Structure 1
């Protein structure tokens, strides 16, 4: 007889989650915001290509957040985007860990480096690769969207009461608006997708997963499709979509796990919308 394994349950208490929120807020105040629109050319560098930037703010904020997490959770595995860029093996270590924290210290670095106030901090916790906690923080407004796998997604901010968020209501295909990382996809995938783009009401990209998932979790768009599966971009957002009432899976139907490095992640407002989009986007996986 096949044994059914229990679903992951967040090991984080409410007090620990509050401590993580405060840690991220301090890092933003100390290491990120003072550098916004105040970077010299030598404080900006590239990684995989000219559009993949890293700044002193990314490096300093990641170091501060990582130190703080290890003080709270000494036995946890911690992986940051910048550390993983230097040591890709950290990703697999995080996927295998009973408790791992994944940091994107400045998500939307291109926006940040060009003076655009659309960037954020992403923090996720996973158990054996599956998200159990997510935090999407906006330093400019000082508010955050948060959830764990036992609680609904909600938004809170300094001096403001916490309130739940919800994904959008179901709608016809031609009314759907979405976010698609079209120009980050291979040219052959772009060619397959181009004929279906007119099917939607609106399509765009914010160059910032933090705000893209925040918008999805608050019903501002109906779906999000990405083929770049960096865990620091998606682990928190996938969970927040699900806990806000949405559906988030790999396009081939698998549950999302940070160990998955190839494929497409599709997040949608409900199962019906997800199924409709999967059929429409089938050329991507045929």
Structure 2
């Protein structure tokens, strides 16, 4: 089946409506009981996450009958849901509130994401900024762009590559095992700077729009990365897992590194992973 730009815009409107009704009314209005811990103090879920995912899933099933919905909170409740991706004609990955820690802290740096997988291949991605009201879309073969509710569109292009010591980006490394974690953190100093915004949605917008050079992620949950992966790719970027193998939606480990092109990816990978199992 084909997934068109119009289909992607339909998904964007679904995300926008869920943000309007379920996410933004709860922003900075969460009671203590509306914020709950999952695996750690950094891994939270709120009433907004759960309510928005239900609304998004229902709307996607109506708009795209027969589609499989793989949402972050749905998988948390039933891990076997991930197995339904295998053989699915059409599947959506959904992260209702990416950057939940920021959201729960009252920090306006969070996003709502949906990735589109057709027969095992990522073909589209949508990232909504609920605070700003605009969204970023990438569709295979159609490029990627940011669009506001009035329909004004800005095409995206990744930053020009530079030497490693002149490139800035973002890095999420907290879940890596030792000694990889400590060695990587030391090696990140080879770049100009490496920040962490606790929100993949906005980090993907930065690298896809040419506002940062690289992004590194230690966890590769489908709902966190399917949308951003295709948006970055359609903006001209290059990415792979830490060992250089291509990222696929079924992958659950191996990390991800993004760069402006293959040559700069190889330079970053060599610099960041020197002295580790992934490097020399």
Which stretches in structure 2 are left out of the alignment for 5+ residues? none
- 8 A Cα contact 1:192 1:284, kept in partner: no
Question: Counterparts of 2:248 and 2:141 in 1: how far apart (Å)?
Answer: 18
State TM-score, norm by structure 2. 0.95
Q: What is the alpha-carbon root mean square deviation over aligned residues?
A: 1.4
Which residue of structure 1 lines up, in the alignment, with residue 38 of structure 2?
47
CA positional deviation for 1:162: 0.8
Question: Counterparts of 1:108 and 1:75 in 2: how far apart (Å)?
Answer: 29
Which residue of structure 2 lines up, in the alignment, with residue 30 of structure 1?
21
Which stretches in structure 1 are left out of the alignment for 5+ residues? 1-9
Which residue of structure 1 lines up, in the alignment, with residue 94 of structure 2?
103
Question: Counterparts of 1:115 and 1:284 in 2: how far apart (Å)?
Answer: 39
Residue 178, structure 1, aligned to residue 169, structure 2: yes
- 8 A Cα contact 1:193 1:284, kept in partner: no
Question: Counterparts of 2:206 and 2:90 in 1: how far apart (Å)?
Answer: 27
The 3-state SS of whatever aligns with 1:255 is coil
Q: How does 1:73-222 map to 2 (within 5 A)?
A: 73-222=64-213
Residue 62, structure 1, aligned to residue 62, structure 2: no
User: Which aligned runs of 4 or more in structure 1 are off by greater than 6 angstroms?
Assistant: none
The 3-state SS of whatever aligns with 2:249 is coil
Which residue of structure 2 lines up, in the alignment, with residue 267 of structure 1?
258
CA positional deviation for 1:143: 0.4
CA positional deviation for 1:284: 4.4
Residue 13, structure 1, aligned to residue 4, structure 2: yes
Question: Counterparts of 2:204 and 2:210 in 1: how far apart (Å)?
Answer: 10
Question: Counterparts of 2:9 and 2:57 in 1: how far apart (Å)?
Answer: 16
Question: Counterparts of 1:121 and 1:64 in 2: how far apart (Å)?
Answer: 12
- 8 A Cα contact 1:136 1:144, kept in partner: yes
CA positional deviation for 1:95: 4.1
The 3-state SS of whatever aligns with 1:207 is coil
State TM-score, norm by structure 1. 0.93
CA positional deviation for 1:160: 4.7
- 8 A Cα contact 1:80 1:102, kept in partner: yes
